[in-house]
Structure 1
Amino acid sequence: MKTSKAHEQVTGFLFREKAATCALYLCALVLALGPMLGTSLAQDSRATLEGRVTDQHGGVIPKASIEVMSEDTGLRQKTVSNPAGLWSVRFLNPGPYQVTISAQGFKTVEQKGITLQVADDKRLETVLSVGATQEVVSVTADAPLIDTSSATAGTVIEGATLSELPMESRIAYLLAGLSPGAHLIAQNNNVPFMWSYNAASDVRVNGGRDRRSNEFLLDGMPNQHGDSVSFIPPADSVAEFRIMTNAYDAQYGRQAGATFNVELKSGSDAYHGSIYEHYENASFNANRYEFNHAIPKIPRPVAHYNLYGGTFGGPVIFDRKKTFFFVDWEGIRNKDPRNNSPLSLPTLAERNGDFRNSFTTTVSGGVRSGPIPILIYDPTTLSGSTRQQFVASSNPADPRYNPVCLAPALT
């Protein structure tokens, strides 16, 4: 019996030891793959800057110090090169950067004028010369860096383009038409306004079917409701955006058309702001050709449209070197009388709850016909799949009356 118990104890100990070892290996695997999984699932609008450090003979330089500084905010990020001389700094906001690379026994290289755009992945090849570390070699980028790590095709609409090109609609997404292969779908000759989600979404890219083939991102996050863009940011709040049209990275790929990746502005180390207004009035508009030649002449349509707002951003007072803010506000006032279709007001009988004689009309082939009865059913009389027609009721206390709707109807 003692031998049996000892055998059970040893067996149980070995089982627990193996289970603990498996759990340890599993935890190590999760910790090792966690960053990779997070990277593969993310759709980031921020940029990556990477590179390799070598000497004049092509030999790699490990443990070189790399400092990447944002010229907008002054924020600095540091790293060191690995044994292969490679380094990488991720999650950089689009904008201008300065890179300083130094290593013991070599001159320090300071490279300025490096511009990163939305979802960029740029690479620097840096050659260090033998000399004292205190000696600094300044390099100014005279040509933009090429993204050699990704085959994604597309176009970046920069902030200068957004602010300098005339945009009657003030919808930044419509500048996607500047990208090769992108076609904006006509909106029945109507000028799309800021609330026109259909116009902002109706872009066909490289022969894609329609907007159902596109994906919309805002600061790397999904910005989509069904097959349309969910939120249209004010044009003055957009830093830039990228239209990716082909050969997506693994982080993209839900769609068969294009990906619209919009990056909003952020605060910098100095205070900046803007105030704007876009005003449209009938007195500034030309009349339509057919209106001028009609007999009698038809006056130009009435239009009063105001779109106004402002932006402001900068450093937070209690932490000016690390914390920044940016806010924007936009308002719209639009007086656009539509007199090309008849409008109906409730009759006296309808205001008193009698809908038995309510009717409407329809237009087919340019001919209006009717009357067509409007049948209103009482929801409290549901029996199976049928309901009874609403019976006239002139009692305002009837619980079927909505007091919110009743108040304006009786005035």
Structure 2
Amino acid sequence: MNSKCVVMFLLTLSLTVSPLPGQMDRGTINGTVKDASGGVLSGVEIKATNQNTGLQTTTLSNDVGDYRLLRMTVGTYRIAFSLPGFKTFERTDFNVSVGQVHRLDVRLEIGEVSDSVIVSANSEMLSENALVSTTLQNEVITDLPISFSGGRIAENFAFAVTPGVEGDNWESFMGGGQAFSKEVLIDGISASAQIQGNFLETPASMEAIQEFKVQTSGMSAEYGRTSGGVFSYALKSGTNDFHGSLLHYGRNEALNANTWMNNWNLADDPHNPRYKRARDREVLWGGSAGGPIYIPGLYKGRDRSFFFFAVEHDKREDYELGTLDRTVPLPAFLDGDFSALLDTTKTVGTDALGRPVYSGQIYNPATLRQEGGKWVSDPFPGNIIPKSQISPASARIADLFRKQYPPSVNRLTNNNAGTATNSPWFRLTQYTMKGDHQLS
């Protein structure tokens, strides 16, 4: 596979003045505000502050005490409810997930606004979604072991831990749907190729994923273009603190055991270098960095403007031989010597002159003639074609076979093995860049 350099650039504008329709990459918080006796409260100010970025979203409860915070970016929030004559109620560490509708009902106590009741959201939060889904947070994605074959692929988690999801990152089946029918979203933007359900070039970088959600059924109308479920990726954003990460993974055949097939072949040919441990190397490195946009003397982006950047590079060489299921000519055959095929102890018939025809015997077409009204020709002596009868074109082809397709074992059939993988040489570089800015 040729080297690939994939650049994903997403610019997210967090608009708090008016919510936009659709929230495939965002979350929603609904609820009702009441007083201690159960009466609904209108005009309550609800302010949700992202605990990592300081970005705020505000709204007011309506005449029946209901409120709704729309298009909330994925993250952890502090939500404050305030109304004159009542104590301020704060809910901290409230996690908002991609595509999820969360419910938070609150009762305010009579008192001064300056007095606060603070509750940490360690308890399980309610959801109003009817959809069936599995959500994996960044901690799970980065901490659990995953396959490194061809790079780190978060999608592999879905096939391992999500009920109703089967297949692999090429062909998958979700909730009983047909293959190639799922939708793939990165921050709400479709990332499917012409083959539905497959990424345009590569999945999102593992270092850039904040949350990964698999929706198998019960999707709302905004997902109407898919009949096979949705894979939703929410990418990380910069925060008010500079942060980053580094990773490195390595594999080398020097640390591997030899294959069973190679050991079996070494028993017959112990000095053949082809049966040593196959070249099996992979080096994967990467990292990420994010924080507020800061230009000395010009701009401080704290609580307003943020950046995030991630890169991953995967280099793999896997030349392990497969099974001996191919047949190539022996070196003697390429020189015209087919004596190994001739078995003079086994007669398969007679020719027109009554001469015996032996198993594996080849005949010289230059001696073809008619005798007694029948066509006959003479066998090559010793089953060897003279070099003078091998054309230059055939000799060139024989040289190519001699250099590129030597037999792995000294036998007539099933004497050659190809590589065990379709792409023994693999290069992949992923770049992810994201910017967030709040207009107010």
Pair in the same fold by TM > 0.5: yes
Q: CA offset at residue 105 of structure 1?
A: 1.1
Which residue identity does 2:199 align to in structure 1? V
Partner of 1:116: 96
Q: Determine which of 311, 328, 334 is the counterpart of 2:316.
A: 334
CA offsets per residue over residues 149-174 of structure 1, 9 Å max, x none? x2010100111111111122310111
Q: CA offset at residue 339 of structure 1?
A: 6.4
Does the C-alpha gap of structure 1 residues 43 and 224 become closer, same or farther in structure 2, counting only changes over 3 Å? Answer: farther
More off after superposition, 176-185 vs 320-329: 176-185
Q: CA offset at residue 367 of structure 1?
A: 8.1
Which residue identity does 1:203 align to in structure 2? S
Does the C-alpha gap of structure 1 residues 221 and 43 become closer, same or farther in structure 2, counting only changes over 3 Å? Answer: farther
Partner of 1:217: 185
- Structure 2 CA distance, aligned partners of 1:266 and 1:214? 26
> Do structure 1's residue 252 and structure 2's residue 223 form an aligned pair?
yes
Partner of 2:170: 201
The 8 Å contact of residues 327 and 414 in structure 2, kept in 1 or not, is answered as no
Question: CA-atom RMSD, angstroms?
Answer: 2.8
Partner of 2:236: 265
Q: Determine which of 80, 90, 109 is the counterpart of 2:60.
A: 80
Does the C-alpha gap of structure 1 residues 285 and 218 become closer, same or farther in structure 2, counting only changes over 3 Å? Answer: same
Does the C-alpha gap of structure 1 residues 202 and 286 become closer, same or farther in structure 2, counting only changes over 3 Å? Answer: farther
CA offsets per residue over residues 365-391 of structure 1, 9 Å max, x none? x889xxxxxxxxxxxxxxxxxxxxxxx
More off after superposition, 251-260 vs 331-340: 331-340
> Do structure 1's residue 93 and structure 2's residue 73 form an aligned pair?
yes
Partner of 1:321: 303
The 8 Å contact of residues 50 and 87 in structure 1, kept in 2 or not, is answered as yes
Q: Which has the larger radius of gyration?
A: 2
Structure 1 spans left out of the alignment, 5+ residues: 1-34, 186-199, 344-353, 369-411
Which residue identity does 1:265 align to in structure 2? K
Greater share of residues in strand = 2
SS in 2 for 1:283: helix
Greater relative CO (CA pairs within 8 A, separation 6+): 2
SS in 2 for 1:72: coil
Q: CA offset at residue 47 of structure 1?
A: 0.9
Q: CA offset at residue 250 of structure 1?
A: 1.0
Q: CA offset at residue 287 of structure 1?
A: 2.6
- Structure 2 CA distance, aligned partners of 1:284 and 1:156? 36
Q: Determine which of 45, 48, 61 is the counterpart of 2:28.
A: 48
- Structure 1 CA distance, aligned partners of 2:37 and 2:100? 30
- Structure 2 CA distance, aligned partners of 1:161 and 1:142? 18
Q: Determine which of 197, 200, 211 is the counterpart of 1:240.
A: 211
Does the C-alpha gap of structure 1 residues 135 and 66 become closer, same or farther in structure 2, counting only changes over 3 Å? Answer: same
SS in 2 for 1:163: helix
The 8 Å contact of residues 292 and 302 in structure 2, kept in 1 or not, is answered as yes
Q: Determine which of 297, 308, 318 is the counterpart of 2:285.
A: 308
Q: CA offset at residue 333 of structure 1?
A: 2.4
Q: Determine which of 119, 122, 133 is the counterpart of 1:154.
A: 133
Greater share of residues in helix = 1
Does the C-alpha gap of structure 1 residues 155 and 262 become closer, same or farther in structure 2, counting only changes over 3 Å? Answer: same
- Structure 1 CA distance, aligned partners of 2:188 and 2:63? 32
SS in 2 for 1:290: helix
Q: CA offset at residue 266 of structure 1?
A: 0.6
CA offsets per residue over residues 157-208 of structure 1, 9 Å max, x none? 11111111112231011111211111234xxxxxxxxxxxxxx232222333
SS in 2 for 1:232: coil
CA offsets per residue over residues 56-91 of structure 1, 9 Å max, x none? 122111111111011111222222111111111122
Which residue identity does 1:334 align to in structure 2? R
- Structure 2 CA distance, aligned partners of 1:286 and 1:159? 34
Partner of 2:359: none
Which residue identity does 1:305 align to in structure 2? E
Q: CA offset at residue 336 of structure 1?
A: 3.2
Identity %: 28
Instruction: Write out the 4+ residue segments of structure 1 that deviate beyond 6 Å after TM superposition.
Output: 338-343, 357-361
CA offsets per residue over residues 322-347 of structure 1, 9 Å max, x none? 1111001122223334766899xxxx
> Do structure 1's residue 285 and structure 2's residue 256 form an aligned pair?
yes
> Do structure 1's residue 137 and structure 2's residue 81 form an aligned pair?
no
Does the C-alpha gap of structure 1 residues 216 and 43 become closer, same or farther in structure 2, counting only changes over 3 Å? Answer: farther
The 8 Å contact of residues 280 and 320 in structure 2, kept in 1 or not, is answered as no
